[in-house]
Structure 1
Amino acid sequence: MIIRHRWRTAAAQLALWLVATGAVVYFSQQAYVGAHGLVASREFEAEIATLSAQLASLKETRESYEHRIDLLSSDQLDPDLLDEEARVDLGWLHPNDRVVETR
């Protein structure tokens, strides 16, 4: 009986160490490649950088459009811009206009 008791004690300690080692390995692996791990955070940072650049580009485009809209307001109407937009929309050309085709 004493031999069996020692065998059970050794097996229990071995099982405890195996479970603890497995838990440490699992949580370490999840901390590195899991959904919230180091690899995922690097991917999130790269995506944030890409989206920030896209946001800056869109802000510039919006500022350009807002500036053109301001030029078309009734108190600051720019006749040249109005003429240019009308010709583009209608497809008309003035006899003195020069057409340059780019392909």
Structure 2
Amino acid sequence: MIVRTKWRMAAAQLALWIIAAGAVSYFGQQAYVGAHGLVASRTTEIEIAALSAKLDALKAERAAIEHRIDLLSTDRLDPDLLDEQARADLGWINPDDRVITTR
């Protein structure tokens, strides 16, 4: 003899809906603030933009260094740049000299 089958069926359906709602809310919360969620993707985009700006600055600095190296090559030797570099490396600066560094 089965007694209270309606109550058990109602309780089972209620438990199923509660479990389903819990799973949906858990995965929804993880999709928003989880390790691969929307907040993390915004943070990653900001970090990518900052690193791209830093990369551009480093590329510009490298181009400037390559230009200075090109000026010191044997076929296009710039005497002023050579004199400036030699004085800076050897520490031979006359007290009467005016030195302006632009680095």
Same fold (TM over 0.5): yes
- Counterpart CA distance in 2 for 1:20 and 1:38 is 23
Kindly provide the amino acid, as one letter, of the partner of residue 83 in structure 2.
D
Task: Could you list the structure 1 runs, at least 4 aligned residues long, displaced by more than 3 angstroms after superposition.
Answer: none
Which residue identity is paired with 1:72?
Answer: L
Equivalent-residue separation in structure 2 for 1:60 and 1:90 (angstroms): 28
Return the structure number with greater helix share. Answer: 1
Q: CA deviation at 1:98?
A: 2.6
1:1-103 matches, within 5 Å, as 1-3=2-4, 5-94=5-94, 97-99=97-99
C-alpha distance in structure 2 between counterparts of 1:30 and 1:99, whole Å: 60
- Per the TM alignment, residue 71 of structure 1 is displaced from its structure 2 partner at its CA by 0.4
Counterpart-to-counterpart distance in 2, 1:99 and 1:64: 20
CA separation in 2, counterparts of 1:58 and 1:99? 26
Report the identity percentage: 69
SS at match of 2:56: helix
C-alpha separation between the residues in 1 aligned to 2:27 and 2:99?
68
- Give 1:10 deviation, angstroms: 1.1
Query: Secondary structure of 2:98's partner?
Result: coil
Q: Which runs of 5+ in 1 are unaligned?
A: none
Query: Aligned in 2, Cα 1:95/1:16: closer, same or farther, shift over 3 Å?
Result: closer
- Tell me the C-alpha RMSD between the 2 structures: 1.5
AA matched with 1:70: D
Deviations 1:48-100 (A, max 9, x none): 11001100100100000000010011111111100000000111024752357
Structure 1 length normalisation: TM-score?
0.89
